[in-house]
Amino acid sequence: MTIHREGRTLLFVLLLILFGVNWALLYFLPEAALLQQIVLAVSVVFYLLILQFFRNPVFAIEKNDRVVLAPADGKVVVIEETEETEYLKTRRLQVSIFMSPVNVHVNRMPVGGTISYFKYHPGKYLVAWHPKSSTENERTTVVAKMKNGTEVLFRQIAGALARRIKCYVIEGKQLEQGDEFGFIKFGSRVDIFLPLNARVVVKPGDITKGGRTIIAEI
């Protein structure tokens, strides 16, 4: 387990701020022992909550060109056939994974391939499970073209709390299945659009682990 690079500066600054607050109470209000204890306890709990959000587990990726891995930790909230209108412009199977603030927020490649399309869309901050969040919220769209020519589209979507999406891909770059491609801060959603002949092996309500849970066979 490591701390993700997106959180290192924030965690350091937060540590300094909390240390300063507690030191100030101790220095200026030495007689307020109960208040000092309460503030210290709240500071420790708050810091640990932020710390766990930026955790980045280290594990071996079992690559398999015939399966699609979950791009994120979270819960499956949508499995449906839909029209993908931005790039593929065809009917697809959509699988959506909701990431709560307590999930690991590293996003990983569901398949290996060359990035054939990438676009960032500014937008709203509706709750991530809102039906219109896929098309109206701040989001990024990424398409990976596999060795067999199949293109898989996946989309990072900001939520009501997630106000910062990080996506590290560029068009033409080759990435392996399970490679980190992005990070979303504080609650969000990832949609993945699969060919209609894919066999989805998860169901709504299932818990996924990014880079480890198989969500479909293609």
Helix (H) or strand (E) holding 69: strand 67-69
* Cα dihedral across residues 53, 58, 60, 65: positive or negative: positive
Chain center to CA of 187: 8
Active site residue 188: yes
Contact, 98 vs 74, CB < 8 A?
yes
> How far apart, in whole angstroms, are the C-alpha atoms of residue 75 and residue 88?
25
> How far apart, in whole angstroms, are the C-alpha atoms of residue 31 and residue 93?
63
Residue 75 CA: distances (Å) to CA of 72, 78, 195:
9, 9, 21
Residues 6+ apart with CB under 8 A from 29: 35, 36
Catalytic residue of the set 96, 133, 134, 188: 188
Helix (H) or strand (E) holding 14: helix 5-28
Q: What amino acid positions are annotated as catalytic residues?
A: 188
